Amino acid sequence: MKQIRPRLPGVGLLLRSAVIPAVLLFGTGMHMVMFVPAVHMAVVGAAGALAATSAVSMSIVAARRNDGRAVWTGMAFSVIAMLLLIHGLATPGVILPANAVVQVAGALNLPVCGAILAASGLPILRRPRRVRLLLAVQLCVVAVLAVVGAVFSPDIAVVPDPSTAAANLIVVVGAIPLALLAWRAGRTYLLARRRSDLIVVEGIVWLIGALYGLINFTMTDAAWWAAHLLEVGGIGMVAIPVALDLRHAVASRPLVGDLRAGHLVEHEEAFLGGRVRALLVRLGEKDPSTEGHTRRVATLAVAIGEHLGLPGGTAAPARAGRPAP
């Protein structure tokens, strides 16, 4: 029971984030809808453009900062952007006739992206020495996906029929890395209480819902189109906050999940807000010795709390200007 209780806030956070995707998917269900194929291409194109923009910005940051984790994050969004591009261009009835590429690309983009992002949290991949090599690998992966989608499309098999055991297996396997990312982001939010981290949590859960809808419904079902809306929204909710973190020279904590209480003190402006940062700057201008002493005391306090196993969320009320319990 002692091991389960600290995890309950994180579980509750994920369940709350799943309400909107669940209502949207099961509310629309298998109601028949008919849209012209160009609508599908436009929706998917919007998601692909958003992912591509995020991938480019993250890769630029990674190159400038020599940050291996940022490379992996950029690679994940590069892959999802290319698969979405293939998925959109392969829409039957626009450029190509009926084909299996549209199904395979739509089914693989979220699991592959989730797996790459989950791998970015591994310590061995956090600070690789050869960032340029990783960037070259990223370009090669995108190029290979483009070639496979354009040249070998007749040989790609169709994904399993919706609601079959094979389809559900794809959903489960693909949801595992996404669920890991959602758990990491949830723990980061409960510690830092940043609204952007909460948005990342909800965005990842939306992507899990999108994966379920894309696999278990067909193009004539309203839930299939709802899944595309969840996908577009989820990509934006994950990509934008992470890109802003990287832009401000803060590691993508929601996805990596290695945020510790000590980091809140080290990066007070990013995690605790501009007011705390302004107070420390003013204190440093008036009395540098006291400012340094304040930082050391804060670092020691959080280190003691982590050693005692105190939940990080207990510090949250103090950030809002109320006394901590």
Residue 325 lies in a domain: no
Are 114 and 156 in the same domain? yes
CA torsion through residues 71, 77, 83, 85, sign: negative
Residue 164 lies in a domain: yes
CATH code, domain with 56: 1.20.1070
Residues of the chain with pLDDT below 70 are 1-7, 120-131, 148-157, 192, 247-285, 287, 291-325
Tally of CB atoms within 10 A around 264: 22
Same domain, 111 and 234: yes
**What's the confidence (pLDDT) of residue 318?**
41
Residue range of the domain that includes 283 = 261-319
What pLDDT, on the 0 to 100 scale, is given for residue 153? 57
Whether residues 77 and 215 share a domain: the answer is: yes
pLDDT for residue 230? 92
- The number of angstroms, rounded, from the C-alpha of 288 to the middle of its chain's C-alpha atoms is 39
Q: Phi-psi region for residue 323, left (φ > 0), alpha (ψ -120 to 50) or beta?
A: beta
| 136-193 per-position pLDDT tens digit | 777 787 777 777 666 655 556 677 777 788 888 888 988 998 998 888 888 778 776 7
- Count how many domains the chain has: 2
CA distance 253 to 245: 8
Query: Do residue 20 and residue 93 come from a single domain?
Result: yes
In angstroms, the CA 211 to CA 286 distance is 55
Q: Are the beta carbons of 106 and 80 closer than 8 angstroms?
A: no
Q: Around Cβ 30, how many Cβ atoms within 10 Å?
A: 13
| Cα dihedral value 188, 192, 198, 201, nearest 10 | 0
3 state SS for the chain: CCCCHHHHHHHHHHHHHCHHHHHHHHHHCCCECCCCHHHHHHHHHHHHHHHHHHHHHHHHHHHHHCCHHHHHHHHHHHHHHHHHHHHHHCCECCCECCCCHHHHHHHHHHHHHHHHHHHCCCHHHCCCCCHHHHHHHHHHHHHHHHHHHHHCHHHCCCCCCCCCHHHHHHHHHHHHHHHHHHHHHHHHHHHHCCHHHHHHHHHHHHHHHHHHHHHHCCCCEHHHHHHHHHHHHHHHHHHHHHHHHHHCCCCCHHHHCCCCHHHHHHCHHHHHCHHHHHHHHHHHHHCHHHHHHHHHHHHHHHHHHHHHCCCHHHHHHHHCCCCCC
**324 in any annotated domain:** no
Q: Which structure tokens are listed for 248?
A: 């401000």
Distance CA 34, CA 44 (A): 16
Domain boundary among the residues 240, 256, 272 is at 256
Residues 84, 112 within the same domain: yes
| Cα–Cα distance for residue pair 213/270, rounded to 1 Å | 35
Same domain, residue pair 27 and 66:
yes
The pLDDT, as a whole number, for residue 144 is 75
End position of a domain, from candidates 207, 233, 256:
256
The answer to the question of residue 88 being in a domain is: yes
2 found inside a domain: no
What pLDDT, on the 0 to 100 scale, is given for residue 130?
Answer: 63
In a domain, 5, yes or no: no
Picking from 256, 284, 310, the residue at the C-terminal end of a domain is 256
Phi, psi (degrees; rounded to nearest 5) at 96 = -110, 155
221 and 296 share one domain: no
Domain assignment of residue 1, yes or no: no
Q: Are residues 14 and 128 in the same domain?
A: yes
54 and 122 in a single domain? The answer is: yes
User: Do residues 251 and 273 both lie within one domain?
Assistant: no
Q: Is residue 168 part of a domain?
A: yes
Q: Please give the structure tokens belonging to residue 26.
A: 């099961």
**Do 150 and 172 lie in a common domain?**
yes
pLDDT for residue 296? 66
150 and 120 within one domain: yes
